A = this chain, B = another copy of it.
């Protein structure tokens, strides 16, 4: 209690008249403990305001009470939503969140990550897409003895290690909605190659069209990279077609905003001349004009759930926390029936 002002386990032990191992048992909720002694120790702990020193625990346990967020996601809002969800789960626990961006392109990425995990002895890591889709990264965590949970658009791992959304189904529903409005010429602004979410969303789109007996010419598909600019460029290509699409599904909101932008620039009114649906429901969706009809991706909830899995006691994770999250269509102002021809 002298040096730093903080009481230590020794202080508690001395005052409670027990050994420090007993105090340790109380802290770690050891089952084999006399209720009386436990109570006595707990009272001393409370009175002293004693809190175990995380550094000492980390050294002894060879494991830190840190949860890592490993990501290479370019979307600021998405990353913030994930952080917020994680922090909700970690709030009032002994865990802290450390953020680790990685560079997927880098040749030393895996090595860097291994060093990070081994040196920091993280309790666990949350893997955000798209890096979460990399099997070698998951393997790496496993080998490093580091818990991990992956977030993704499709189940890539067992329940203990995965939190997924149903992107394919959600996009199928969104596309069905477009079809139900009467649209037949529907364009797609796809996400970048290498993003599993892009693949799933596109698959959902194609399934819906196929189920409705609508052909999808290659020209009706334009690939973007999830940025506003790429959405604009893709839309320009799509809107140059004759006849042009009466509706466009965009694989994220950023690109959808770019589509609106491009449409407005060429004097097309949304949704009168062109209907648009996005994906994510980030703030931009509500701020563009007209407000974007979009698929709400519950990324913050997913992150919270993932973090809870990470810090759950062994074995009870899959029982407690759901692994599959449902994305739902949010109807706003960017969809209408197609114009008469």
Is A236's beta carbon under 8 Å from chain B? Answer: no
Of A11-19, A28-36, A92-100, the stretch lying at the interface with chain B is A92-100
Question: Given A98-B98, A228-B287, A289-B261, are A80 and B76 neighbors across the interface (CB < 8 Å)?
Answer: yes
Q: Bound state CA distance, A64 and B58, in angstroms?
A: 11
Report copies per complex. Answer: 2
Of A113-121, A130-138, A241-249, A330-338, the stretch lying at the interface with chain B is A113-121
Partner among B54, B87, B118, B121 whose Cβ is within 8 Å of the Cβ of A99? B87
Q: Mark A43-61, 1 if CB is under 8 A from B, else 0.
A: 0000000010111101100
Q: Bound state CA distance, A283 and B98, in angstroms?
A: 25
Listed in ascending order, the chain A residues whose CB lies under 8 Å from chain B are 3-4, 6, 51, 53-56, 58-59, 62, 64, 66, 76-77, 79-81, 83-84, 87, 96-101, 115, 118-121, 228, 257-258, 261, 264-265, 283-284, 286-287, 289
**Is A83 a contact of B58 with CB atoms below 8 Å?**
no
A92 to chain B: closest residue by CB: B112
The smallest C-beta distance from A63 to any residue of chain B, in angstroms, reads 9
Which 9 residue pairs are nearest across A and B when measured between Cβ atoms? A76-B80, A55-B58, A55-B59, A228-B287, A96-B98, A76-B77, A98-B98, A59-B59, A76-B76
Q: Bound state CA distance, A51 and B118, in angstroms?
A: 10
Question: Given A120-B54, A257-B287, A289-B265, are A98 and B66 neighbors across the interface (CB < 8 Å)?
Answer: yes
Q: Bound state CA distance, A83 and B264, in angstroms?
A: 35
Q: Bound state CA distance, A79 and B77, in angstroms?
A: 10
Which residues in B have their C-beta under 8 angstroms from that of A286? 228
Q: Bound state CA distance, A83 and B98, in angstroms?
A: 11
Question: Given A97-B99, A261-B289, are A55 and B51 neighbors across the interface (CB < 8 Å)?
Answer: no
12 extra interchain contacts, Cβ-Cβ under 8 A, other than A55-B64, A228-B283?
A: A54-B119, A55-B59, A55-B121, A66-B98, A76-B77, A76-B80, A76-B81, A76-B283, A79-B80, A80-B80, A97-B99, A284-B284
A100 to chain B: closest residue by CB: B96
**Is B287 a contact of A51 with CB atoms below 8 Å?**
no
Query: Can you list 15 A-B pairs with a CB-CB distance of less than 8 A?
Result: A51-B119, A54-B120, A55-B62, A58-B59, A66-B98, A76-B81, A76-B283, A77-B77, A80-B80, A98-B99, A228-B286, A258-B287, A261-B287, A261-B289, A264-B289
Which residues in B have their C-beta under 8 angstroms from that of A54? 119-120
- Of residues A51, A76, A99, A283, which shows the largest number of chain B Cβ atoms within 10 Å of its Cβ? A76
Which residues in B have their C-beta under 8 angstroms from that of A261? 287, 289
Q: Bound state CA distance, A119 and B93, in angstroms?
A: 12
The smallest C-beta distance from A119 to any residue of chain B, in angstroms, reads 6
Which residues in B have their C-beta under 8 angstroms from that of A4? 62
Q: Bound state CA distance, A66 and B97, in angstroms?
A: 11
Which residues in B have their C-beta under 8 angstroms from that of A53? 59, 119
